[in-house]
Chain A
Amino acid sequence: MAKYKMHVLVCGGTGCHASQSDLLLDNLKTIVADKGLDNEVQVIATGCFGFCEKGPIVKIMPDNTFYTQVTPEDAREIIEEHLIKGRKVNRLLYVDPENQEHIADSKHMGFYKKQLRIALRNCGFIDPENIDEYIARDGYEAMAKCLTEMTPQQVIDVMKKSGLRGRGGGGFPTGLKWEITNRSVSDIKYVVCNADEGDPGAFMDRSILEGDPHSVIEAMAICGYCIGGEHGLVYIRAEYPLAINRLKIAIEQAREYGLLGKNILGSDFSFDIELRYGAGAFVCGEETALIHSMEGYRGEPTVKPPFPSVSGYFEKPTNVNNVETFANVPVIINKGAEWFSSIGSEKSKGTKVFALAGKINNVGLIEVPMGTTLREVIYEIGGGIKDGKKFKAVQTGGPSGGCLTEKHLDVPIDYDNLIASGSMMGSGGMIVMDEDDCMVSVAKFYLDFTVEESCGKCSPCRIGNKRLYEILDKITQGKGTREDIDRLRNLSTVIKDTALCGLGQTSPNPVLSTIDNFWDEYIEHVTDKKCRSGQCKALLQYFIDAENCVGCTACARNCPVNAIAGERKGIHVIDQTTCIKCGACMEKCKFNAVYIK
């Protein structure tokens, strides 16, 4: 490998890609070449840095300078000022929102201070399309160690001792799962990587695959060695073209290096990986449904047992793990079970990646030790609520999770604590909501999702969730009653107890947790017919403030149903019976005379 004096790392993750980071990369490369610096400066695209809010991100190594919101036009200035003259481009540095100071080194930024990157260790560090860079960061060392120095049982014991639990949401101990698959007797066994990340608002797995595909490949091979399987399959969403492409390149490179294929590293062990594409069905995140989908069927779940570890893909023992779980494996082998289990809380070891999004200042991908509190995540890493609004709730676990409130902010995050608080870990989506969000509407939003994604196989999920949605809709339309809230609660309990798979058993969680934590808001909707956040249109009324109205007629002219009466230069009035609550008057009024109540 050529020795470069400086490295320019450009984020090539999806978020930054959408803000033209590819063009920026091209510009940097061209200008570096024009200046004759291509022997000293290396420009590469990396995986996600995590700080998506401020993308596109450019990092200069070795001085660790972190530039934010860089446009393709900024390329020249960065090269001429920073690389050639050694002066940092101040206007592109991150500004600390508290003291307005420019921070050059990402280590000192609030967003990164509390983070500990294990699964994301290489994201934003290496070129994901170059296997040499992965190898330079101890890549494939763990696999070599397993194949040459350890028996499968020894590796399984390390995994068990490390305390790693499934990161897809279930939290099943990974080592134990491997052991069960290892014990199943069969001529053929499969290793499956579940990369069907379907939670709306979650992008952890995709970022790992885009930023560090080799870590998943290496871990799958280690898993194959442990369970005695030679076939690996990655089930990935077709909606992730960039991740698919990087994974394909990585598999090809691993084959060229003899790290996949027959007799890996001269051992008796052979292993190879194929891709299978999902086609947009949330239920396929459930392992039995995922397996049916890979076999070419509708992705409908079946009753467990038999568990896939015993009878899975084409009825052969199949070990299914999620992307983030796999990404942890090589580090655990390299650094040892004791190291890993020293991080985290008592029952949840290691770290967890979260996709932090919603009404928060620092949207992005974060990784924190288990046991970090929600408050630390939201206020220290996330930088607090957007536009200085008031925090209302944080939703974890996606459509299967629940909404947590102010009183949960100091709960240390781990599998068991989140369940005890009425939500769950899920795969790691974390959506922050502020005072403008109506919790009944949020519950309705999730049910809308579940209704659409229910596979229809069992009636509690197919019919029950539809009824839940209808009752919630009725409440947001202002037609709900007190009895409807009880009905929601009863029906939710029945669905949880009787649905076939994980999707149905958890789908009422958003309803139950919002009823529990935001009881007042439900009552306001059904008895006072009011929505305090102003989200439920049917519960709003528009009025014109006589003091501010100057009689410009703008509202009346723009009203699509002629509900506003008033003379020119006279005060206008809205006829509530005709008004369709479209909000056009409010938008057009230049004098802030229109208000809602």
Chain B
Amino acid sequence: MANIKLSAEKLDELKAICKSFKNDKGELINVLHKAQGLFGYLPAEVQEVIAKELSVSVAHVYGVVSFYSFFTMLPKGEYPVSICLGTACYVRGAEKVIDEFKRILNINVGETSPDGKFSLACLRCVGACGLAPVVLVGEKVYGRVAPDGVKDIVAEYTK
């Protein structure tokens, strides 16, 4: 068992989450959803605790975490930027929008900026195809984003 660096308080919260699902291994995905809500991401030590509580191997937990794109093992930025790459957004030029974000933030998709402010991700269809191309910053939705509008969006969060 690796060293757990989580604070005792967080550890209790995590165990309470597992317990709220009766430590049932069939509820693993629901537990992971809650845990990611608590920590923002799922580092190895969190997965180890969950594995122990649910009486499954760490490999099993890791297998599930790495399988689903919703789960992440890296912390996201303070302002997570997600660009929709659904087909509707793609044909309306989402790729150029991604390139512009990459250029302005100087990070690649899946990375977080060194100051921890922005992270960049792609997602598949938020269902707002009428507003394509769509960009999400946190929960806020920006519709009909053109490449030259990217700098204004970034500026909103760098004041």
A interface residues, Cβ below 8 angstroms from B: 14-15, 17-19, 52-55, 198-203, 206-207, 238-240, 276-282, 293-299, 314, 355, 357-359, 363-364, 395, 398, 429, 431, 433, 437, 442, 445-446, 449, 452, 455
Contact of B67 among A53, A55, A281 (CB under 8 A): A281
Output the least CB separation between A203 and chain B (Å): 3
CA distance A543 to B90 in the complex (A): 27
Q: Which residues of chain B come closer than 8 Å to A206, judged between CB atoms?
A: 127
Q: Which residues of chain B come closer than 8 Å to A54, judged between CB atoms?
A: 130
Output the least CB separation between B41 and chain A (Å): 14
A277-B29 CB under 8 A given contacts A298-B63, A363-B132, A437-B91? yes
8 A Cβ contacts from B52-70 to A: 63-64, 67-70
Q: Which residues of chain A come closer than 8 Å to B125, judged between CB atoms?
A: 199-203
Closest to B99 in A: A582
A276 and B30: CB pair below 8 A?
yes
A299 and B126: CB pair below 8 A?
no
For chain B, the count of residues having a C-beta within 8 Å of the partner chain is: 36
A15 and B92: CB pair below 8 A?
no
B134 and A18: CB pair below 8 A?
yes
B67 and A364: CB pair below 8 A?
no
B105 within 8 A of A: no
Closest to B141 in A: A18
Q: Which residues of chain A come closer than 8 Å to B154, judged between CB atoms?
A: none
Q: Which residues of chain A come closer than 8 Å to B143, judged between CB atoms?
A: 18-19
A200 and B86: CB pair below 8 A?
yes
CA distance A363 to B129 in the complex (A): 7
Output the least CB separation between B155 and chain A (Å): 19
A201-B92 CB under 8 A given contacts A18-B131, A55-B130, A280-B69? no
CA distance A52 to B70 in the complex (A): 26
Pull 12 A–B residue pairs with CB atoms less than 8 Å apart, ordered by A: A14-B126, A15-B128, A19-B131, A199-B125, A200-B124, A201-B88, A201-B89, A279-B33, A279-B69, A279-B70, A298-B67, A442-B91
B interface residues, Cβ below 8 angstroms from A: 25-30, 32-33, 63-64, 67-71, 85-92, 123-132, 134, 141, 143
Q: Which residues of chain B come closer than 8 Å to A294, judged between CB atoms?
A: 26
Output the least CB separation between A292 and chain B (Å): 10
Q: Which residues of chain A come closer than 8 Å to B89, judged between CB atoms?
A: 201
CA distance A198 to B85 in the complex (A): 12
Which 10 A-B pairs rank lowest in CB-CB distance, beginning with the nearest? A52-B130, A203-B127, A279-B68, A357-B88, A201-B87, A18-B141, A200-B86, A296-B28, A357-B129, A280-B70
Q: Which residues of chain B come closer than 8 Å to A452, judged between CB atoms?
A: 69
Q: Which residues of chain A come closer than 8 Å to B64, judged between CB atoms?
A: 296-298
Since A19-B143, A363-B88 are in contact, a sample of 14 more A-B pairs with Cβ atoms closer than 8 Å, ordered by chain A residue number, is A15-B127, A15-B128, A18-B126, A200-B90, A203-B125, A240-B127, A278-B68, A280-B69, A280-B124, A295-B26, A296-B25, A298-B64, A431-B88, A446-B87
Q: Which residues of chain A come closer than 8 Å to B92, judged between CB atoms?
A: 358-359
Q: Which residues of chain B come closer than 8 Å to A55, judged between CB atoms?
A: 130
Q: Which residues of chain B come closer than 8 Å to A359, judged between CB atoms?
A: 91-92
CA distance A431 to B30 in the complex (A): 33
B91 and A433: CB pair below 8 A?
yes
B91 and A431: CB pair below 8 A?
yes
CA distance A279 to B28 in the complex (A): 11
Q: Which residues of chain A come closer than 8 Å to B27, judged between CB atoms?
A: 296
Q: Which residues of chain A come closer than 8 Å to B33, judged between CB atoms?
A: 238, 277, 279
Q: Which of A18, A202, A446 has the most C-beta atoms of chain B within 10 angstroms of its own C-beta?
A: A18
Output the least CB separation between B31 and chain A (Å): 9
B128 and A429: CB pair below 8 A?
no
B130 and A357: CB pair below 8 A?
yes
B87 and A358: CB pair below 8 A?
yes
B91 and A358: CB pair below 8 A?
yes
Closest to B69 in A: A280
Output the least CB separation between B60 and chain A (Å): 8
Q: Which residues of chain B come closer than 8 Å to A240, judged between CB atoms?
A: 127
Q: Which of A279, A294, A364, A452 has the most C-beta atoms of chain B within 10 angstroms of its own C-beta?
A: A279
CA distance A55 to B126 in the complex (A): 16
B87 and A398: CB pair below 8 A?
yes
A53 and B130: CB pair below 8 A?
yes
Closest to B32 in A: A279
Q: Which residues of chain B come closer than 8 Å to A297, judged between CB atoms?
A: 28, 64
Closest to B147 in A: A587
